[in-house]
Structure formats: C-alpha cells, structure tokens
Structure 1
C-alpha cells in the first residue's frame, strides 16, 4: 500500500562528465568524451527534456553543504546569463533543468564518512608500513573491489550519454555495484583487528551514504514536493535502498523517464 504523503524521489545515477578519475573505477583518456561537443549538448538537452516530465521541485547534487553559497552564486549567474556551464553533470543537467523549472537553487548534500579509530590510525596516520600493506591489498588483491567492472563496457562514446545512463541505472547494475563493497577490502584483516575490513567499508561507504541521506532529509520536503537526486551512479546501490525503505519517500524508476 502506497502512503499518500510520501515524497516522490527520482535518483539519476550518472558517470562524472568531467572524468576526474577520483574513483576506483576510472576511464582512460582515449575512452573519454567531451560533453561540450555539439552532438553531446543536443543529447543532454534531450535528457533534460525527459527529466522535466518528472516535474521536480527539489534538485539535489553531489556537492558538500559548505559549498552551497558557491553553487547558489554560480546558478544565479547562469540564470542571469553570466555563467557558462562547466562540463560537470550537476551543471549540464542540474542547472539546465532548474532554470527551465524556475527553481531558486539546487541543494548541496554530499558528505564524507567518519572513520573508526583503528582505520584512521592504520590508513590515514603516520604508520607507512601498515598503510602500504593496506593499499597493496586494496589495489592488488585478486578478490578486488574492481571485480565487477573488469569486463564492463561503457557505451557513452559508442552509443551516447543517454544509453550509458540507462545502462548504469538498471536494477541489475545497481545491485552488482553494492556487491563490490562486500568483497575485496571488506575481507582485509590485521593482527590487531579481524574486523578491519568491515570497519573500513562501513566508514568509507555505508556511513558516507547514510550521511548523504540525512542531508537530504534536512531539506524538509513537503508531501507535494518531488526530489531529483543527481549523483555518481555508485551511490545508488545504497541511496536507492534508503529511499525505497523509508516511509517518508516513494522511489520512482529513473528508466521510466529516460
């Protein structure tokens, strides 16, 4: 039974249009595209057309709340015709759609996780031996987090941005992405802690996404609001679960719009 007062949410998992290659899964230079090329600009306009049908009243982007003033300023400048959109998806899609809909701002909700003490000491502080051992395991262990991405074929260059967005937002792809966090570094152990891996993944991924979700809750959306979340696709393996499970929200299917 669907609660009538649930806020409708649409989550758009995206690849990063600027290709910063800050994630574990990276894209080589020769496989990247320039979203400012005319053919991709036309396709982005088509994607915005499709998302406009959801009629979002709130748009959420992958930027930290401390940068809210900066993005408010950039968005206002764009609306006034004095800012040229960067290559990033939050501007190419988010700013365009917000302007069309006459929205006053986009909401910055990103967050980092909080580390357990054992993780912080071993990975981020001055014990270089333990840090090297951890990083070697992270990147070189056969049972690696990269496992499900090894044979993955990204299609933005061959089939376009829309085809890639449809591909990475399928239920199968999103579910597979969560599985990556339950192997590889999740199994890492030290002499001091046989639960080091779960501690690291909890802080790195689960805690981070719970904090993002909490930031979205803080927007205090009303029952007639409609939230569009524009985020790196990897986050959907948890954010979709949170929205789908929460009594406050009703998660819609993004590919029904794409």
Structure 2
C-alpha cells in the first residue's frame, strides 16, 4: 500500500473508531479480545557493569545475609503474580548461553553470583518450576548520518554555537540536575530495603522525570530538515521497540502471565508500549505489594 493511501486509511479508521467510542463510551471496541498479564519490574543492576552514563559509586551486597532476607521478601511478592514465563535483560541472540547457565543452576552446577538476572530471574523461575528463562534484550539500530568523525564534530560545533551560550548553559544545568538525582538514588539504595528501592525504581512520576534526560543537550541540535540530535537518539528507542517485540514474541495471547526483569531506565518506553498494546493487561509492583 502506498504511504499516502496507508496514512489516509489509518486516519479514517482512527476517526471512525473515535466516533464509535464517543457514541458509546461505556463499551470498549476491544471487548472480548484475549489479553495476557504483563509485569514489568524495573531494577538497578545488583552488580553494575559501568555501561550507563552515570557510574554508581555505591554497591549493594546482595549476597549478604541481610540483603538475602530482603530479596526473599521480593521473591515472595513476585511469586504472588505466578508468572508462566520469566524474561530478563539478556541478548536474545545469546539465548543458548542463558539456557546453559539456567540448566546448570537447576542441576546444582552453577552458583549464582550477584547479578539480578540470577538472583531474581533464575531463583524465581526455579521456585515456580520453569524449565526456561527467556532472553528479550536486543541491540539497537542507530541512525547512519553518513558523516565522518571529523564532519560530525564540525556539525556539533556548529550547532553548539547556533544554540548559543545561554541554551548550552541551561542544558548543562539540567544535565547536572539529572546526575544529582541519580547520585541521590545511588546513595538511597544503600539506606533502604530492597523492596523500598524497587518501589522507587518503578514509581511512574520518577520514571517520567528521568526519561527527560534523553531530550536535552544534543537532542536540540536540529535545523531545517536536518535532525542531527533527534536522529541521534533513535538508538535508544529502537532498542526498546525491539525489546517489546521480543516480549510479544514469547507471549501466547490470553494464556501467559509474563514477568520481565529489566533495568528501570527502559520502563518509560516499555510501559508506554505495553499500556498501548491490545495484547496486555498491566500488573505493577505497587499492586502486588498492596
């Protein structure tokens, strides 16, 4: 279908649907459609690899006796959900390696280290009698601007000058505020229980605010039909779109209760996609705690 015709069709469908739902607001157009439950749990990395912009300064010894007791409390709460499938932040292309490690764990040949994939994902799967843990992470697809490194640096210098000192200074201040927020959260995880920290990691307002960090700085470097900044952010969105596609790929509509354990930074996009999807009924940590 040609793009313009497709666009017209989508607009027509949207308009028709809006008209129908306006006339009968009490009846959903998707009534009777089978949905699966989806529980997305955002977490900090128990053993951080230093791959994110903010480098944690404080560790949580998840293997200590106190933290293991707190972890058991979290596992019991997740257990109330009774997921039929557990998915983790592991490259889908490396599913065979994940299978090997999980099989070794079930056979008593692999001692779990501090990684949250093992401490929550593997332990929860074993407790529920699952024979598999699903890998749903994906590499991003970045925008190819066709520029050499030197040309790219020239573009950045041009846009930096074009934006002007006040805008650049404002964005630097905003960046520092985000970093201070991460630093405060870094300290907090050493002062509160694991459950309280995870509740904070999954707070909708906190997630909304933190996502704003992707929308400052380089993101403003656009002019005319050249979107150096906006296109440069594509990698983060494509990665999360692919992750969500992988979640859909392991879901049998109306039959599964899927539990996804993933870094909390992914949640602003994944929550939006999941809440928009006709395939899922969302479950939250806050609901399970209550």
TM-score by length of 1: 0.87
Q: Does 1:45 align with 2:72?
A: yes
Q: Deviations over 1:225-246 (max 9, x none)?
A: 1000100000000000100000
Instruction: Give the CA deviation at 1:184.
Output: 2.2
Q: Does 1:197 align with 2:219?
A: no
**Structure-1 residue corresponding to 2:92:** 65
**Structure-2 residue corresponding to 1:25:** 54
Task: Find the aligned partners of 2:84 and 2:250 in 1 and give their Cα distance.
Answer: 12
**Structure-2 residue corresponding to 1:234:** 265
**Structure-2 residue corresponding to 1:217:** 248
Task: Find the aligned partners of 2:245 and 2:51 in 1 and give their Cα distance.
Answer: 24
Q: What is the correspondence of 1:1-258 to structure 2 with a 5 Å cutoff? A: 5-28=34-57, 31-118=58-145, 121-122=146-147, 127-128=149-150, 130-131=152-153, 142=172, 145=175, 147-152=177-182, 153-154=184-185, 155-189=188-222, 194-201=226-233, 203-258=234-289
Q: Deviations over 1:193-251 (max 9, x none)?
A: 741111011x2211110011111111142412100010000000000010000001111
Distance change in 2, residues 1:128/1:193 (3 Å): farther
Task: Find the aligned partners of 1:151 and 1:133 in 2 and give their Cα distance.
Answer: 30
Instruction: Tell me how many residue pairs correspond in the alignment.
Output: 247
Q: SS of the residue aligned with 2:139?
A: coil
Moved over 4 A (4+): 1-4, 131-135, 143-146
Q: SS of the residue aligned with 2:181?
A: coil
Instruction: Give the CA deviation at 1:134.
Output: 5.4
Task: Find the aligned partners of 2:176 and 2:35 in 1 and give their Cα distance.
Answer: 36
Task: Find the aligned partners of 1:143 and 1:229 in 2 and give their Cα distance.
Answer: 34
Structure exhibiting the larger radius of gyration computed from Cα positions: 2
Task: Find the aligned partners of 1:182 and 1:235 in 2 and give their Cα distance.
Answer: 15
Q: SS of the residue aligned with 1:43?
A: helix
**Structure-1 residue corresponding to 2:13:** none
Distance change in 2, residues 1:250/1:157 (3 Å): same
Q: SS of the residue aligned with 2:213?
A: helix
Higher helix share: 2
Distance change in 2, residues 1:100/1:185 (3 Å): same
What RMSD, in angstroms, separates the aligned Cα atoms of the two structures? Answer: 2.5
**Structure-1 residue corresponding to 2:19:** none
